[in-house]
């Protein structure tokens, strides 16, 4: 098999690993899909299972994004293919092989991908996310605005076209994955973030 195919398959497979669901079940005996926002991401883990769950699931979801881009760089080595691996990790997270092609919203995995592809914009979107979540209490709003800033920052910071296109694609994908959050934000029923006491 060509190294491109291996890197692509591994990235999708890595992205597919549903850390939130599996860890939630194994350690906290809880199926995140039956609680809170029903999402398997770090935010719903924080909300449902507490801070330790939220942070560890964030780190694991982040790591699979970063690791996929790293695999792309080691096995193939071109920036374009590193971007392909990153996209496949995000798609794997949201359309998981293990969850009948369902899954999360791609935020933590997307940040892991970004750290490897564009470290400075990654730091900036993380700060934008943090400020918005602190100010409004809505994680989804922070994620949506932060995602929208990715292509803008890539363009402003003179990244090549494939990076700007990656940003556009990732932003649209993440925003679409937040469609139910957008509905709740608009009708005032989105819940503000609070960690479960454990
Ligand atoms: O349960 O629907 P919910 O309220 O949980 O969750 C909404 C939330 C889903 O996402 C997550 C992951 C949270 C990770 C938080 C730290 C990362 C912040 C960085 C944002 C940058 C995103 C842009 C990456 C694009 C490639 O939204």
Distances in Å between the alpha carbon of 48 and those of 28, 109, 196?
A: 10, 20, 5
Structure tokens at 65: 């994004």
For residue 1, name the pLDDT band (cuts at 50, 70, 90). low
Distances in Å between the alpha carbon of 158 and those of 104, 148, 161?
A: 30, 17, 9
Is the minimum distance from the CB of 44 to ligand 1 under 6 angstroms? Answer: yes
pLDDT confidence of residue 198 = 76
Is the minimum distance from the CB of 32 to ligand 1 under 6 angstroms? Answer: no
Q: Which residue's alpha carbon is at the smallest distance from atom 16 of ligand 1? A: 108
For 22-41, how does the pLDDT look when each residue is reduced to its tens digit (9 = 90+)?
999 999 999 999 999 999 99
pTM of the model: 0.97
For residue 43, name the pLDDT band (cuts at 50, 70, 90). very high
Is the minimum distance from the CB of 107 to ligand 1 under 6 angstroms? Answer: yes
Is the minimum distance from the CB of 116 to ligand 1 under 6 angstroms? Answer: no
Is the minimum distance from the CB of 150 to ligand 1 under 6 angstroms? Answer: yes
Q: Which residue's alpha carbon is at the smallest distance from atom 19 of ligand 1? A: 126
pLDDT confidence of residue 44 = 98
For 131-165, how does the pLDDT look when each residue is reduced to its tens digit (9 = 90+)?
999 999 999 999 999 999 999 999 999 999 999 99
- The complex's ipTM works out to 0.98
**Extents of the domains making up the chain:** 2-187
Distances in Å between the alpha carbon of 86 and those of 36, 45, 66, 134?
A: 28, 23, 8, 28
Averaged pLDDT of the chain: 97
C-beta separation of 18 from 48 below 8 A: no
């Amino acid at each position: 098999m060509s190294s491109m195919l291996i890197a692509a398959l591994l990235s999708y497979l890595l992205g597919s690993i549903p850390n939130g669901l599996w860890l939630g079940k194994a350690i906290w005996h809880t199926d995140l899909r039956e609680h809170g926002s029903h999402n398997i991401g770090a935010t719903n883990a924080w909300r449902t299972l507490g801070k330790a769950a939220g942070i560890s699931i964030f780190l694991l979801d982040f790591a699979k994004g970063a690791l996929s881009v790293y695999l792309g760089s080691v096995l193939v080595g071109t920036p374009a293919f590193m971007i392909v691996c990153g996209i496949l990790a995000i798609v794997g997270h949201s359309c998981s092989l293990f969850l009948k092609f369902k899954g999360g919203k791609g935020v933590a995995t997307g940040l892991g991908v970004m750290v490897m592809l564009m470290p400075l914009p990654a730091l900036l979107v993380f700060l934008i996310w943090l400020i918005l979540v602190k100010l409004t209490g809505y994680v989804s709003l922070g994620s949506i605005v932060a995602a929208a800033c990715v292509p803008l920052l890539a363009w402003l910071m003179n990244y090549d076209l494939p990076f700007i296109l990656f940003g556009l694609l990732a932003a649209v994908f993440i925003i679409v994955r937040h469609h139910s959050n957008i509905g709740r934000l608009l009708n005032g029923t989105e819940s503000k973030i609070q960690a479960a006491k454990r």
